[in-house]
Amino acid sequence: MTSGINFTTTAGAQGSCVDYDALQSPLAVLYSIIFVLGLVGNLVALWVFFWVHSKKNSVRVFLINVAFADLLLVVCLPFRILYHSRGNTWNLDPTLCKIVGHLFYMNMYISVTLLGLISVDRYLKIHRGAVVRHRLQSTRWSSVLCAVVWIGASVLTLVLLVSKHQFQVGRCFHYKTLRNEQWKAYINIFVVVIFWLVFIALVVSYGKIALKLLRTSQEKPDLPNAAHYTRTARKSFFILFLFTVCFVPYHTVRIFYIKTQITDTSCFWQGVADKANEVALLFSALNSCLDPVMYFLLSSSMRKEVMRLASNVFCVREFAAVSGSSSTAEEDGRSGRADRGQTNISLINHLTEKMVNDST
């Protein structure tokens, strides 16, 4: 009973430092957009990975797990949308708030870790010998690593879920001080350190990959694969750019945010930390609907299926346009249209085959 009274007093103090009306409408709208795009993109990705024939390799295993993590993160977004659209008021079970919050972060960091493993995998395949490349091509080790990541993240999340937690009535996903629960802050610091280690590994791996491929294409421009090396280097920079835009802002803000939670900080800076954290977290959630772009770049089966769908759409539109013409014009120009149609189909098939063979 005493702890409940103390909690109410603390919550009231916190409430005066945080403007709960700030950003609620923009966050609800932006999370809704991310939810729709992320749901569609990752469902399509999983459909391609599981039901479209493709070669099995380590990168494919990692990408499937990233898609699952992104999909689970996206499933958490409707609760945030509901919370923000109701004026940052939580009317559901407090335990559900705790579960949704921890699952969101769990899947975000699973995605971060797997992206780091993909970068190391690609680096070793390029910079190591044929024996290492053959072993890495096997799905066994990548499957084991993914299992370790999921188990480790699940155990850590379970520890946080079963720990005692004081709820502020009507609030969820809000700023909380941790002066009396500093061990939680230390876990958050540990996770932030893990992120920066992964980020460094990503920068080093993709940086060396891109430099080696660019150097090869420049030193030997007459090689048949010179253009392929340049494209692969650009893809590496894009993945690094995607990771930087989505996750670096959040983990930069996170250092300041955690500091305000465990030290005596003025209300002004607590409010600044809260708003900055909300905006940066939005960028992290954005990664879930941008990852399908990465799947397209890294997976030949994904490229093949997207190109096939694009070819079908193009052919259907072409057919509809031809069917809409007059019967006289169709008879007069049938031979010419057939030649042009055959040329278009050949060109599409050529582009499709080229994209499929341009595996990374």
Least Cα distance to 314 among 290, 285, 343 occurs for 343
Give me the phi and psi of 163, to 5 degrees please. Answer: -70, 155
CA 338-343-228 angle, to 5 degrees, is: 165
pLDDT for res 53: 59
pLDDT for res 230: 62
Q: Are residues 231 and 340 in the same domain?
A: no
CA gap 242, 293 in Å, rounded: 10
Q: Are residues 314 and 235 in the same domain?
A: no
pLDDT for res 33: 95
CB burial class (10 A; 0-12, 13-18, 19+) of residue 64? buried
11 domain-assigned: no
DSSP conformational letter for 307: H
6 domain-assigned: no
Q: Are residues 269 and 307 in the same domain?
A: no
CATH of the domain at 227: 1.20.1070.10
Q: Are residues 323 and 273 in the same domain?
A: no
Give DSSP secondary structure letters for 9-40: HHHHHHHHHS-TTTTHHHHHHHHHHHHHHHHH
Q: Computed from CA positions of residues 69, 74, 78, 81, in that sequence, does the dihedral angle turn out positive or negative?
A: positive
Q: Are residues 233 and 134 in the same domain?
A: yes
> Residues with Cβ < 8 Å from 56, sequence gap 6 or more?
139
CA gap 288, 284 in Å, rounded: 8
* Contact (CB, 8 A) for 59 and 298: yes
141 domain-assigned: yes
Residue 177 gets the label, from left (phi > 0), alpha (psi -120 to 50) or beta, of beta
Least Cα distance to 242 among 35, 359, 70 occurs for 70
Q: Are residues 275 and 360 in the same domain?
A: no
Residue 120 sits in which domain range?
Answer: 19-168+179-298
* Contact (CB, 8 A) for 36 and 117: no
pLDDT for res 128: 63
Q: Are residues 229 and 293 in the same domain?
A: yes
Give me the phi and psi of 88, to 5 degrees please. Answer: 55, 45
Q: Are residues 74 and 148 in the same domain?
A: yes
pLDDT along the chain (360 residues), means of 10: 36 56 87 94 88 75 93 95 89 89 93 88 71 63 92 92 75 80 85 90 82 71 60 70 90 92 86 91 93 79 76 62 43 45 42 40
117 domain-assigned: yes
CA gap 169, 331 in Å, rounded: 75
Q: Are residues 207 and 329 in the same domain?
A: no
109 domain-assigned: yes
Query: Model-level pTM?
Result: 0.76
CA gap 270, 176 in Å, rounded: 9
Number of structural domains the chain divides into: 2
Residue 272, CA distances (Å) to 18, 279, 304, 319 in order? 9, 11, 46, 57
Q: Are residues 24 and 109 in the same domain?
A: yes
Other C-beta atoms within 10 Å of 155: how many? Answer: 9
Q: Are residues 284 and 350 in the same domain?
A: no
* Contact (CB, 8 A) for 351 and 307: yes
Q: Which residues of 227-256 are buried (b: 16+ CB within 10 A; e: fewer)?
A: ebbbebbebbeebbebbeebbbbbbebbee
Q: Are residues 330 and 347 in the same domain?
A: yes
Work out the end-to-end distance of the chain between its first and last CA atoms, rounded to an integer number of angstroms: 61
pLDDT for res 329: 39
DSSP conformational letter for 176: -
Residue 260, CA distances (Å) to 9, 63, 276, 360 in order? 18, 36, 12, 44
Q: Report residue 173 CA to chain centroid gap.
A: 20
3-state secondary structure 248-293: HHHHHHHHHHHHHHHCCCCHHHHHHHHHHHHHHHHHHHHHHHHHHH
Boundary (domain end) residue, out of 270, 298, 326: 298
pLDDT for res 42: 93
1 domain-assigned: no
pLDDT for res 247: 94
pLDDT for res 305: 77
Q: Report residue 147 CA to chain centroid gap.
A: 19
